[in-house]
Structures are given as structure tokens and as C-alpha cells.
Amino acid sequence: MKKAKFWLIAAALLLVCGICVITCCSNNDDETTVVAPTDDSSQFVTLTDAVPDAILEIRYYGTYNFVGARIDGYEEPTALLTKQAAEALRAVSDDVMSKGYRLKIYDAYRPQKGVDHFVRWAADIDDTKMKPYFYPDLDKSVLFEQEYIMAKSGHTRGSTVDLTLFDMATEKELDMGGTFDWFGPESHPDFCGNPETGEYTGDNHKSPKGRSITAEQFEHRMILRRAMLAHGFKPLDTEWWHFTLKNEPFPDTYFTFPVKQLK
């Protein structure tokens, strides 16, 4: 009788622990089970090794970003991606190069400590030194509520990239009508147009200050979007610069190794 009671208690404990593991590990942006964080970089490549024509402007290594400081985990001004994402991005690069453009990379893989830095910064309501440049229309207190800052990021899974286009004829970035990391509806792919059809509508009613972009600026965003979607990436509905590989190899893994040249 004592043995039967022991096994009943053991089974109950296993059930409770199992529920705890599922619950504790499912709180992420995709609502899927999360693999424990890892510092294994063996399936990553330095982006410019795979895409040698890419131009790098790693914003989180410098101070011109919404925080106004170098972000934790960015030890060198380089970009890393999973091998699969880098291969797909090489196809995008070849595509846009044939049209007279080059890819310019703002961010790729982002270590979890970088995301944690964003979270600490957002919790410090008094630190608003970069507000005029990146979120002038928002009170900093709403950044969590409106999901501009989150505890998890797809970038940390290694197959997401933030980028724009560089025009080789003018030797300047294409004018996208807004800066990378602008917090507001002006950054949405559907701002002033329909990204599904590529049609410019001029509809700017979502802008709190009545800002707008031109037909040319909207088309520039669409050139980038069409190239990324044609080669296996999916867009984000709030950022024209943000794309994730559809068949990302590590959809549930958040990596922790720093951003620096891989050896």
C-alpha cells in the first residue's frame, strides 16, 4: 500500500513539473516552446563573408540609435546570421545588385543581452536623450505597452535582418521616407500605400502629426520588400526594414554569444 501511494505522489509531481516546464518556456513572441538559451555559434557565419557586397552600418555598436549608447553584446561592428539566412540574403544581394543597388545592413543577429539592455533602458523613463530622433510622438512610458520594446526578439534566433538599399548611381541610401528604428506608424509597410499590391495611396491618417511619404519613397520601400520576399524572407507589419527567413533553422532558440567576428 505504501509503495502504491509513493508512485501516486511521484506521478503527481511529474505532472506538475511538466506543466511548469511547458508554461515557463512558452512565454515568447511566437508562443512556442523555447529551447534553453545557448552560446553555440557553430551554425552562424559572418554576414560579409557570405554577402561580400553588403555595406555595414551596425547601429547598436555605435551611439546613433534609440538608446544613445553602444548596446551590450555588440563587441565589434560586424553582422552575423545563420548559414541559411545568409545564403538567402546572398540571393537578395545578387538580385538588387543587378538593378543598381547594394544592401546596407543595420542589424542582424542580436544576443539576448542586447535585448535585455533595451528592456532596462525602456524601464528608465527619465532617459529620453534620443527621443527627438526616434520617438518624438510617443511618451516613453508606452514603449512596452505598444510593443516597441519586448523581452524577446526574433533577431536573437539568428535569421532576422534589418536593412535598407544603397543606390550605386547616386552613392547614397535610397530615400525610404523615414529613419531605421523610428517608433511610429510611419515605419509600417502599409503607411501611405498597400504593400500587397505595391500601390501608393498617400493615406497618412495613422500619423499622429500628419507626416507623409511620397510615392517615390513608398516605391523604394517596395523595391526592398519585393526582393526580400522573392528570396524566402517574410516581412514585419510594423517595420519596413525588418525581415525574417521564413524557414528559419532555429525558430525556438535564443542565442547568447556576442556580436564579433567568428573564428
Q: What does the pLDDT profile of the chain (263 residues) look like in tens digits?
A: 433 433 433 444 333 333 233 223 333 344 445 667 899 999 999 999 999 999 999 999 999 999 999 999 999 999 999 999 999 999 999 999 999 999 999 999 999 999 999 999 999 999 999 999 999 999 999 999 999 999 999 999 999 999 999 999 999 999 999 999 999 999 999 999 999 999 999 999 999 999 999 999 999 999 999 999 999 999 999 999 999 999 999 999 999 999 999 98
Q: Which residues are catalytic?
A: 239
Specify the long-range contacts of residues 55-64, CB closer than 8 Å, at least 24 apart.
55/102, 55/103, 55/104, 55/105, 55/166, 56/104, 56/105, 57/104, 57/105, 57/106, 58/105, 58/106, 58/107, 58/259, 59/106, 59/107, 59/180, 59/181, 60/107, 60/110, 60/114, 61/259
d(C-alpha 214, C-alpha 253), whole Å: 39
Place of cell 498617400: 202
What is the DSSP code (8-state) at residue 188?
S
What pTM was computed for the model?
Answer: 0.87
